[in-house]
Amino acid sequence: MNPSDTSTTDDASSNPEASSSAEEKIAAEDEMKRAAAKKLIERYFYQLTEGCGNPNCGNKDCASSGKLNPMSPNDAAGHALKLFSEDAKLCESHPSKIARINLSSSCHEKSEQKSCADCNNVTPSNDNVVSQSSKDSGKSNPRYNSAPVPTFLTEQSLYDIIDECETNDCYSPLIRTLGEIFSSIENLAKSFAQEPFTPPSTSPNVENPDKILNKEELRHLEGEKDKDEDSSAAESSSSAIQPVDLSSVRRAYTALFKLKTSIFENSLVNALVTLAGNLQMELPIRGEKGNYDDIINVLLIVFEIPALGSGDFLETALPAICRASQWLPIEGQASLARMWAGPGRTAIRNILENLQQLVTLRVIVTPFHHDFFIQDENVITSATKLMKILYYANMLAGVLESPSLRNMDDMSDSMDESCWSVKLSKSVSPQDPLGLMLGVHVLDCRKPFLPYVEFYNEPLSDMVEMDRDFANFKSELGIFSGRFSFMNYPFILTPATKTMGLYFDNRIRMYSERRISILQAVTGQPSNPYLRVKVRRENIIDDALVELEMISMENPNDLKKQLVVEFEGEQGIDEGGVSKEFFQLVIEEIFNPDYAMFTLESETQTVWFNPTSFESTAQFTLIGIVLGLAIYNNIILAVNFPMVLYRKLMGKKGSFEDLVDWNPVLYNSLKQMLEYSQPDLEETFMQTFRISYQDVFGSIINYDLKDKGDKIAVTQENKYEFVDLYADFLLNKAVEKQFKAFYKGFQMVVDESPLEQLFRPEEIELLICGSKNFDFDELENSTEYDGGYTHNSQVVKDFWLVVHAFSIEDKRKLLQFTTGSDRVPIGGLSRLKLVIAKNGPDSDRLPTAHTCFNVLLLPEYSSKEKLKDRLVKAINYSKGFGML
Residues assigned a catalytic role: 852
From the CB of residue 412, how many other CB atoms can be counted at a distance below 10 Å?
A: 15
Give the residue among 202, 197, 194, 195 at the shortest CA–CA distance from 152: 197
The CA angle 134-136-141, to the nearest 5 degrees, is 110
Backbone φ and ψ of 692, nearest 5°: -135, 150
The larger pLDDT score, comparing residue 74 to residue 863, is at 863
Residues 161-173 pLDDT 10s? 999 999 998 999 9
Pairing outcome for strands 855-858 and 835-838: parallel
**CA 275 to CA 324: how far, in whole Å?**
9
Is there a contact between 752 and 629 (Cβ–Cβ < 8 Å)? no
Torsion of CA 731, 732, 734, 738, to 10 degrees: 100
Q: Which of 465, 445, 452 is nearest to 495 (CA)?
A: 452
Q: CA 566 to CA 63: how far, in whole Å?
A: 75
Taking alpha carbons only, the member of 298, 395, 393 closest to residue 339 is 393
**What's the rounded Cα separation, in Å, for the pair 273 and 269?**
6
Spell out the domains of the chain, with CATH numbers in brackets.
771-876 (3.30.2410.10)
Q: Is the dihedral of CA 867, 873, 876, 879 positive or negative?
A: negative
pLDDT of 155? 93
Residue 588 dihedral angles phi and psi, to the nearest 5°? -60, -40
Output the CA angle 804-805-810, nearest 5 degrees.
90
Q: pLDDT tens digits, residue range 25-70?
A: 555 555 556 666 666 777 777 788 777 777 778 788 888 777 777 7
Q: What are the CA-CA distances from residue 59 to residues 38, 56, 89, 508 (Å)?
A: 21, 9, 7, 57
How many angstroms separate the CA atoms of 28 and 5, rounded? Answer: 17
Q: How large is the average pLDDT for residues 320-340? A: 94
Q: What is the mean pLDDT of residues 316-344?
A: 94
Where is average pLDDT lowest: 59-73, 482-496, 829-843, 849-863? 59-73
Burial class (CB in 10 A: 0-12, 13-18, 19+), 30: middle
Mean pLDDT, residues 629-646 = 88
Contact 129, 102 (CB under 8 A): yes
Query: At residue 826, does pLDDT exceed 80?
Result: no
Q: What is the DSSP string of 530-556?
A: SEEEEE-GGGHHHHHHHHHHHHHHH-G
Average pLDDT of the segment spanning 717-721: 94
pLDDT-wise least confident of 8-17, 400-409, 720-729: 8-17
Strand partners, 836: 785, 856
Helical spans, DSSP H, in 457-576: 458-463, 466-474, 476-480, 495-522, 540-554
Task: State the pLDDT confidence band at 362, using cuts at 50, 70 and 90.
Answer: very high
| 416 vs 857 pLDDT, higher one | 857
Give residue 167's identity as a one-letter amino acid code.
Answer: T
* pLDDT exceeds cutoff 70 at 96: no
Instruction: Tell me what the mean pLDDT of segment 573-601 comes to.
Output: 79
SS3 373: coil
Q: Determine the pLDDT at residue 571.
A: 67
Comparing 317 with 407, which gets the higher pLDDT?
317
Cα–Cα dist 454/456, whole Å? 5
Residues paired with residue 692 on neighbouring β-strands, in sequence order: 702
How would you classify residue 281: left for phi > 0, otherwise alpha for psi between -120 and 50, otherwise beta?
alpha
**Paired residues of 713 in beta bridges:** 688
Residue 217, pLDDT score? 44
Closest CA to 739 of 654, 634, 796: 654
pLDDT on residue 883 = 42
Q: Percentage helix, strand, coil, to 5, in the chain?
A: 60, 5, 35
- Would you put residue 880 in left (φ > 0), alpha (ψ -120 to 50) or beta? left
Can you give the pLDDT at residue 12? 43
Residue (of 298, 268, 272, 270) closest to 283 by Cα position: 298
